[in-house]
Each structure stands twice: as structure tokens, then as C-alpha cells.
A and B are shown apart, each in its own frame.
Chain A
Amino acid sequence: MARNVTKGRKIGTTILAWFVGLVIFFPILWTFLTSFKTELQAISIPPVFVGFDWTLENYATIQTQSNYFHFMANSIYLSLGSTALGLIFAIPAAWAMAFSPTKRTKDVLLWMLSTKMLPAVGVLIPVYLMFIRFGLLDSRLGLIVVLFLINLPIIVWMLYTYFKEIPGEILEAARMDGASLRKEITQVLAPMAVPGIASTILLNVILSWNEAFWTLNLTTSNAAPLTAFIASFSSPQGNFYAKLSAASMLAIAPILIVGWFSQKQLVRGLTFGAVK
């Protein structure tokens, strides 16, 4: 929307907005810069901004010293696995709720939402004990199931709000033309549902990738994703800022990029459709 503002005011706003943006972004920018410094430069006083000898050494070191890709692979495995499982359960449920709603549909949706509000510590103890009992502690399978369950309500909700926007008349028209249920899904519904499903996948991958309660409590090393790997830097020995920075950048970069592309869907998914 074009508004009439004076040039002077626009420049003033630009300076203020960029200042605020850079202050908020600064810790990430600083981590990015530090990841290319030597450990000595990383703690130099006064700090150096860009006038240092850029090096990729830290990125190489974290792989050779701590097998970085093992944790990276776990993060990918957990976030994609839990998302896939979530879609298998959520797509039929959301489809039914959006297209064949009954009196109780709303109650079911709200009940699902309420399970998301159950604090993790309320169920941690039995889950922890069951994991010990069944040998699931530090296993990727166990963690995939937990991440799937904690995010299932969000997936159902998000898909539901997208599916609801698909006009029901199209389905009825297809039915009138004698389309079978399978055709109805594959040829009519699927093409219209794909964007919503894609957004849901993005949001769920972000949430699973960054989940740091269950991943920290239920893993030690074998199934540990990046959240847990980074946590191992909390008890440092010697100089480590540059290595911490390199590991951090690798851990957040993929999600930062995905997140930047899915801002709008994020608002919708995280507010359960209450703000669009």
C-alpha cells in the first residue's frame, strides 16, 4: 500500500529499522563471523569484525574431531521421519474433518489442541521409564515416535485449515460425475492440497529440528541430533568459541533458510489458524 511519506521521514525510518534489525540479528552475524576466525582471534580484545584471516579450519575440525555428520544425519532422520509419520496419520484425519464434518468435529479438533498443551514434564517420567524398559533410550526409532506424537496436533490443525479452504463444491461435482473415492483424492483433491501439505512439512521439520526437551532427555550419543551435539559444548575445555560457532552455523543454517521461505505459513501453523 502506497502511503505518502516525506523522503526525510522515510530515510529516518530506514536508519531506525536497519539498526533494530541488525541489533536483533547481531548474535547470529557474530557467530557467522567467529566461525571463520582462529580460536585466538575469536577471543581477541578488542574484538575484530572482518579484518582477520578468514579460515575454514573450524568447519573441518568439528567433523574430524567430533564426527559432526553423525549428529547431522540424526537430525535429518528424526525430523523427516517424524514428519512422514505425522502426515500418514494426519492427512486422512484432517481430510475427514474438513470435508465430512460432524457435530463433534470441533470438539475433536480442540481436544487435539489441548494435548499439545500438556507439559512435557507431565509425561516425561513414564516415557523415560518405558524407554529404559524397552531399550529405546538413545534410539532413533523411539525419538521419532515421540516427536511424531508431540507434533501431530499441529500437523492435523494446519492441514485442516488448508483443506477447509478447498471448495467442497468441486468434490461434489466430481462425485456427481461418478468419480470414485480414489479418483476424488488423486485427481481432484491432491493437486489443490499440495501447497498446504508442503507448508505443513516445512513447519514440522523446523519444529522437530529444533526440539530440545525430548532430544536432550532421551538421547546420549547414538541417536543424538544436533541439539544434543551443541549442548556438549556447554562444558568447554580450552579455546572453543570458533569451533562452537562453526558447529552452530551448520546446525542452524538449513533451518534458517527453510524458515525464511515459510514465514507466512509459520504464523498460521503456530497460531492454529487464529491469526492468518
Chain B
Amino acid sequence: MATLHTKSAARAMMAPAVIVLLIWMIVPLAMTLYFSTLNYTLYNPFSTPFVGFENYSYFLTDPTFLAALANTLVLVLGVLAITVGGGILIALLLDQDFYGVNIVRLLVIAPFFVMPTVAALVWKNMMMNPVYGVIGQLLQSIGLAPIDWMTDVPLLSIVIIVAWQWLPFATLILLTALQSLSMDQKEAAEMDGAKALSIFWYITLPHMSRAITVVILIQTIFLLSIYAEILVTTQGGPGSQSTNITYLVAQQATSYGDIGAASAGGIVAVILANIVAIFLVRLIGKNLDA
């Protein structure tokens, strides 16, 4: 069907998008790789001697890096656990028949549209502030001591804020998957006397497994790059208790001007993200054939 003419036309139409993305991907990445082998600071940008892997050994043995790596994992896994677990439960709830289902759905999805800086500052000040925050006052009203969230449990605080932002995404996608489950199958199982829990376990959950995988993979990609929420709340502190790799690398470059070390950190982040990306691209590629 495709003639030689349409083929070359198609190629010409794809070319601009492919070329700009190719440049966007390769040029900065190659520069990052190159900078990561230099002793390059913004305070002395005219002397940038080659140092091989020194930046990497500096970065990888820096206790702050190890803390940031651990924090990144806690942040990603913590948010995933809350959003996937909570998302499944809320999706099951919203799939039921009740009054005002459309309004409740709007309420649940709303946090996803709140920009990161607003979400973080609203939570930090109006929810989590130990004196004036709603949570603190709630705890006091039932006789408990308020928690100084940002100082005492900084990483948990950020996990909560980010989970609040992503719970709607997980819920929405899992609900979409849930609604494509045919009623016949569930009704047949019900007729056979299957209990609600075993219907969930043997029919509903396997049906949702693909959507769950997609949620985990896509969220992981975004969660590895959490930045604004940390910047406006704890600024990575106290110490480096809530610093993740993205925040650490950005700070190395824009605050300390250490281009070499920041670049090495950037490459480490790229490698980490790639491990996740390989799985995601495969999954979506398979879907493309179907």
C-alpha cells in the first residue's frame, strides 16, 4: 500500500521530531558524561583538568550520597506501597454503586492536579505544622502530643505529601482497569458460591495485574525525580535525612557549583532510572503488538 512516495513523505514528517529528541537526548548526556571526568567547578571554570573516575569515587563514597540513595529507595518504595495499596482499595470502593459517585470521583482525583510546590507548602504549613496545623490540633484534641513532622520525621513527611499527590493517579488507572472486568465472570463465581475475598484474589486482582504493573513503573520514573517537594519543605534536612539523589545532584551544581561531582551523580541517576525503564519499555512494547 505504501508507495515509495508516501514512504519518503512519512520519513520527512517524522524527521523533525526525531532529530530534536535525538539532539536533546544525546548532546547533554554526552556532555554530562564528559564533565563527570573533569575536576570542574564554577568558581574556577577555566581550569578543568581530566581526573578520570575521581568524581565517581568521590560521589560514591560520600556518606551523603549513600544516605541519598537510601532515601531515594525509601521514598519510591514508601510512596508505591501507599499509592498501590490505597489505590486498589479506593478503586474497589469507587467501583461500587453509591450516591454521588461522580462527585466523589472528582474529589479523589483532585490532588493530582495540584502543582508540587502548592501541595508541599499546604501540607507543611497548614496540615503538618505542630502548632497551627490541622493534624497537630486533631492529635491534641484527642489528648496526644503533636508531631513536629518536618524536624522529627522529615522523610516520612515527604512520603506522605508525595503519596497524596500520586494516590489519585493510581486510583484512576486501577479504576479504569477494574471497570473493564466483565460482570459475567464475577457473577458466575458468585453463583458458584465464591466468597468476596476469593473473587477479589482469584479474579479481580489478576485482572488488574497489568494496570498495577503500569502504575508501579510509571510512578517509579516520576518518583525518582522528586525535587520541588523537598526544596520547599525540608531542603533535604535536617542534615541529609530527606535528601534524595535528584536533590543532591541539583544542589551540587546550582548551590556548590561542583559541576564534575554533580555530573557523576547525574550519570548514576541515569543508570538507576534505566534499570526501571528497560522493564517499562518492554511492557509497553508488548502491548503495541497486541
Contacts and interface: CB of A to CB of B under 8 A. Distances in A.
Q: Which 9 interchain pairs have the tightest Cβ spacing? A: A212-B228, A92-B13, A123-B28, A126-B31, A259-B113, A117-B277, A100-B10, A96-B10, A21-B107
B214 interface: yes
A185 to B, nearest CB: 11
Interface in B170-190: 172-173, 176-177, 183
Contact of A271 (B13, B25, B173): B173
A149 B132 CA distance: 42
Interface string B6-50: 110111011011101100110111011001000000000000000
A125 B224 contact: no
Interface string B223-262: 0110110011100000000000110011001100001001
Contact of A122 (B104, B232, B254, B269): B269
Contacts of A109: 288
Interface centre among B97, B107, B118 (most CB of A within 10 A): B118
- Where chain B touches its partner, the secondary structure class is helix
A46 B125 contact: no
Contacts of A152: 17, 20-21
B274 interface: yes
Interface string A74-110: 0000000000000001101101110110100010111
29 contacts: A17-B98, A17-B104, A18-B100, A24-B107, A24-B164, A24-B168, A46-B137, A46-B141, A92-B13, A93-B13, A102-B2, A110-B288, A114-B277, A117-B274, A118-B25, A119-B270, A119-B273, A120-B227, A121-B225, A122-B266, A125-B262, A126-B28, A152-B17, A216-B227, A227-B115, A227-B228, A230-B118, A271-B173, A275-B177
B69 interface: no
Contact of A27 (B21, B111, B232, B250): B111
Interface string A49-61: 0000000000000
Interface in A236-276: 236, 241, 244-245, 248, 251-252, 255-256, 258-260, 263-264, 266-267, 270-276
B51 interface: no
Interface residues of B, number: 108
Contact of B172 (A3, A115, A245, A266): A266
Contacts of A89: 16-17, 20
Contact of B93 (A16, A96, A100, A181): A16
B228 to A, nearest CB: 4
B17 to A, nearest CB: 4
Contacts, number: 316
Interface string B99-117: 1110111111111111111
B205 interface: no
Interface in B87-142: 90, 93-94, 96-101, 103-119, 121-127, 131-132, 134, 137, 141
A115 B113 contact: no
B283 interface: yes
Interface in A12-31: 13-14, 16-18, 20-22, 24-28, 30-31
A24 B111 contact: yes
B31 to A, nearest CB: 4
- Where chain A touches its partner, the secondary structure class is helix
A117 B280 contact: yes
A96 B14 contact: yes
B37 to A, nearest CB: 13
B158 interface: no
Contacts of B125: 236, 241, 244
Contacts of A125: 28, 31-32, 35, 253, 259, 262-263, 266
Contact of B9 (A96, A102, A153, A273): A96
A127 B28 contact: yes
B208 to A, nearest CB: 10
A121 B111 contact: no
A187 to B, nearest CB: 18
Given A21-B104, A123-B32, A112 B117 contact: no
B107 A25 contact: yes
Given A31-B126, A119-B273, A123-B29, A260 B109 contact: yes
Interface string B258-290: 010011011101101110110011011101110
A166 interface: no
B211 interface: yes
Nearest to B282: A110
A10 B97 contact: yes
A65 interface: no
